[in-house]
Amino acid sequence: MAKAACKRLGITYSISSCKSFIHNAYMLERFICVFGISPDPQVIDKLFKELILFTARAA
């Protein structure tokens, strides 16, 4: 699934980028839970997409 998502976004797939993505997704989820934020699902979707692109470009 991760490989297909990277291919669709035109990003090189690697284990490092996959691990970074999983870590960042967990941190985003944790941040939202700890602070009791209940944002709009569209905002979460946008943040998640930005997270994917940031992780892929950083790796």
pTM value? 0.56
Q: Are residues 2 and 20 in contact, defined by beta-carbon separation less than 8 angstroms?
A: no
pLDDT in tens, 18-58: 787 788 778 888 888 888 877 778 887 887 777 767 765 65
pLDDT at 1: 63
Contact 21, 56 (CB under 8 A): yes
Cβ–Cβ under 8 Å, residues 56 and 22 = no
Rounded distance between C-alpha atoms, residue 57 and residue 4, angstroms: 17
